[in-house]
Amino acid sequence: MTDTKNLTQLGTNVEAPQSPEAAVLETVPFSRGDGPPAIVRFTCPEFTSLCPVTGQPDFAHIVIDYAPDTLLVESKSLKLFMTSFRNHGAFHEECTVMIGRRIIAATKPLWLRIGGYWYPRGGIPIDVFWQTGAPPEGAWLPDTGVAPYRGRG
């Protein structure tokens, strides 16, 4: 059974953090076992942050794939972390890479990639892709499933 005694957010009523810096990413132990590494995917199709210049909301579909080593991201803490960006003003590129780096700092995975598919503002969608290196050998990496932006056509 997974040891959850150190978790402070799961199973409790927790307020959303006011900033990504204040958010706590919690982890649980993971046993990889033999064979190729597992790939864990988190999809956040309704991600929101703020434009640092105008304060207007920016929306994205975020897809995170990672190969855990000994720690998994606890999903409620990830949800609270992602929600904390609703009050955070930063450009798309900064938000996307910040998410990836925070997960790496918390879990020290074998590998991580993140895709931020940002909805258009000013008529231009911005897609941001970042990863830690080559994917682990033998790992199954499905397509992210996010279609390129095609507007109304």
- pLDDT at site 11: 60
* pLDDT exceeds cutoff 70 at 8: no
Residue 37's domain spans which residues?
31-131
**95 carries an active-site annotation:** no
Q: Which residues are annotated as a binding site?
A: 73-75, 92-93
pLDDT tens digits, 9-52: 566 677 887 899 999 999 999 998 899 999 999 999 999 999 99
Q: Is residue 6 part of a domain?
A: no
Q: Which residues are annotated as a binding site for substrate?
A: 73-75, 92-93
pLDDT tens digits, 73-116: 999 999 999 999 999 999 999 999 999 999 999 999 999 999 99
* pLDDT exceeds cutoff 50 at 123: yes
**58 carries an active-site annotation:** yes
Query: At 116, which CATH number?
Result: 3.30.1130.10
Structural domain total, the chain = 1
Read out DSSP for the chain? ----TT-SSTTS--PPPSSTTT----EEE----SSSPP-EEEEEEEEEEE-TTT--EEEEEEEEEEE-SSEEE-HHHHHHHHHGGGG-B--HHHHHHHHHHHHHHHH--SEEEEEEEEEEETTEEEEEEEESSSPPTT-------PPPP-TT-
Task: Give the active site residue among 3, 44, 51, 65.
Answer: 51
